[in-house]
Structure 1
Amino acid sequence: MQNPTSADIQRVRDFLVDLQTRICTALEQQERAGGGQAEFIIDDWKRPEGGGGRSRVLQNGTVIEKGGVMFSHINISKLPASATERHPNIAGAKAQAMGVSLVIHPTNPNVPTSHANVRLFVAKKEGQEPIWWFGGGFDLTPFYPNDEDVLTWHQTAQNLCAPFGDEIYAEHKKWCDDYFYLKHRDEQRGVGGLFFDDLNQWDFETCFKYIQAVGNGYLDAILPIFQRNQNKPYSEAQREFQLYRRGRYVEYNLVYDRGTLFGLQTGGRIESILVSMPPLAGWSYRPEWDADSAEKKLTDYYLKPQNWLQKLNQA
């Protein structure tokens, strides 16, 4: 397996820094298109152990209620359990990890919450060759979904996967469905997308091109969804349902999300780790909705893993 050089790692870092900037610029343009003026604030930080990052956060916008687009490149002197349970051979190794991770919580319940992440991990244990892999993906968590948005999201995912093999979209879509699952609720977090980890099945350059495609594909997928939905009217009841469903997002991130666990176990910067949390969320005791309501359709239809491209292209 080809090991990345310091120049390779720098190229990945350069891409990630640029990706963060381009995503923030595009989302600020959507904010302004909806009549808002909020911008991403920049917060640079360093870790005592080595490395640091740039957090960019937009709050209280007209279109985006809260959004965090985070870049980090950290050094780790001893890997935690969250990183070594799948790789016990590198327990205690030194490592570096870099990535861009984002969660965008829109104001309008008709616009889904979205998440994306691309990252590189390199570990080196004394007397052993370095071990590296890429990870990432993007997923969509709607409150009042429609078929056009789901099709846009998954068609973009399939298109970007196609140059890397006919099977990649199906494999990484299934991985996403399996990963973003709330076991205690027996419920998907959203309508899925792509998820992958431990990606080193190709040479380093091909793997790098894939995470570039995924990172760039996020904007291709989410911007049309914002444009179609951000100016739709909504009721107070729909807003309350949005907050209720955001509670599921909080449950998932605190109980299951590997990135959250990794950050906490490596002594990460808490504000950056928990920036994915929505500004407001709600919990209700055994809420009920009419059988033919949009709220009921979310859980009974859209939150069921299925072949969206086949279903919606045939509709």
Structure 2
Amino acid sequence: MNPQDLNAAPTSSDIDRVRTFLLDLQSRICQGLETEEQLGGGSARFVADEWQRPEGGGGRSCVLQGGDVIEKGGVMFSHIDVKHLPASATARHPQIEGATAQALGLSIVIHPKNPHVPTTHANIRLFIAQKEGMEPVWWMGGGFDLTPYYPVLEDCVAWHQHAFEVCAPFGEAVYPEYKAWCDQYFYLKHRDEQRGIGGLFYDDLNVWGFERCFEFMQAVGHGFLNAYLPIVQKRRQTPYSESEREFQLYRRGRYVEYNLVYDRGTLFGLQTGGRIESILVSLPNLVSWHYRPEWAIDSPEARLTSYFLKPRNWLQLDQQST
């Protein structure tokens, strides 16, 4: 293949293919999560909310609230036009300052009710910027990550095994690179703490050319449910105490802090005057903060931060290593 072909910007037909895939994936994910809600005894369903953006474009936000398994879940599709790129985009790519852009993607955040079922997040997206006198600039990004409150080692290993399998067809270096990037990205600097056990994170991906990058987007999108649903199925019926529920709400505070302070997607949405309900749907309905809580050294609550919320090579761990 001619190297110049790899740099070619996606055509309108290519963009339509991405859009079709994202909308279909949105429906599949909602269906899969609703099935788990039903199997867990719940009756809550996703409500679809179609919206238009005055600047151009729009989206479909699907939100489930008040379930027995999922306390709040958002599966959000958007395809928007951006007339004035915000600082969150141009700081990393100064060459696109003054350009117009299209951004389309799917973002998922699931906050389960049971403290033994982890919160999870996933995102896949395509960004294209263009201005007069410059060839279009494009890239893809995304990934998925897991935020447990009462983690089980086998779940952490399985999560990363799925991430490894998603990346394997694209090269040996892909999983280690994107796993490390995820650890670096989902880090609360002010707490000196990881948000969760990580997974995959990538951005600015275009070096493979559109077709190969799109294949990777599809692999990540399909791989998310394959990684997450088995954990939900194993843990959704685990009994929990009121104190464990209180700890879950306390730890959700870290999730809120990260999304409001560091998350690029949140910042991009706020700086482009995006639809606020869609931008902040990632926040849980219930959350709490406590002043300097203390946990017994050998407690599961203390072990979360002392062991699990550390970057690790999860694929080399077993039950005896902890």
RMSD (CA atoms): 0.8
The match for 2:218 is 212
Alignment-derived partner of residue 67 in structure 1? 73
The letter for the 2-side match of 1:204 is: F
Instruction: Give the C-alpha shift of residue 42 in structure 1.
Output: 0.6
Report 1:293-312 matches (<5 A). Answer: 293-312=299-318
* Residue identity matched to 2:95: N
**What displacement does 1:263 show?**
0.1
Match of 1:45 in 2: 51
Which of 170, 189, 198 does residue 192 from structure 1 map onto? 198
Q: TM-score, normalised by structure 1?
A: 0.99
Question: What SS does the corresponding residue of 1:137 show, helix, strand or coil?
Answer: strand
The runs of at least 4 aligned residues of structure 1 exceeding 4 Å deviation read none
Whether 1:241 and 2:233 are equivalent positions in the alignment is: no
Q: In the alignment, is residue 225 of structure 1 matched against residue 225 of structure 2? A: no
Q: 2:98 matched to which residue of 1? A: 92
Query: What's the CA shift string for 1:184-228, capped at 9, x where partnerless?
Result: 000000000000000011011000000100010000000000000
State the secondary structure of the residue aligned to 1:252.
Answer: helix
1:77 paired residue number: 83
Cα shift at 1:3: 1.7
**Letter of the structure 1 residue corresponding to residue 98 of structure 2:** G
Contact 2:153 2:319 in 1 (8 A): no
The 1:313/1:298 distance shift into structure 2, 3 A limit, reads closer
Secondary structure at the aligned position of 2:150 is classed as: coil
TM-score, structure 2 normalization: 0.97
Deviation digits for residues 222-252 of structure 1 (CA, Å, limit 9, x no counterpart): 0000000000000000000000000000000
1:140 paired with 2:140, answer no
Q: How many residues align?
A: 315
1:124 matches 2:94? no
Q: Is the 8 A contact 1:98 1:120 kept in 2?
A: yes
CA–CA separation in structure 2 for the residues paired with 1:167 and 1:312: 23
Q: CA deviation at 1:2?
A: 2.0
**Contact residue 80 and residue 92 of structure 1 kept, 8 A:** no
Structure 2 residue runs of 5 or longer lacking an equivalent are 1-6
Q: Is the 8 A contact 2:9 2:136 kept in 1?
A: yes
| Structure 1 residue 148: Cα displacement | 1.1
Residue 31 of structure 1 corresponds to which residue in structure 2? Answer: 37
The offset of 1:98, in angstroms, is: 0.2
Query: What residue identity is the alignment partner of 1:150?
Result: C
Which of the numbers 279, 284, 287 marks the counterpart of 2:293? Answer: 287
Aligned residue in 1 for 2:24: 18
The answer (yes or no) to whether the contact 1:20–1:70 under 8 Å persists in 2 is yes
Aligned equivalent of 2:257, options 246, 251, 258: 251
Does the CA contact (< 8 Å) of 1:112 and 1:143 recur in 2? yes
What's the % identity of the aligned pairs? 69
**Number of the residue aligned with 1:271:** 277
1:64·1:107 contact (CA, 8 Å) conserved in 2? yes
Alpha-carbon distance in structure 2 between the residues aligned to 1:294 and 1:314: 17
Q: Shift in Å at residue 5 of structure 1?
A: 0.8
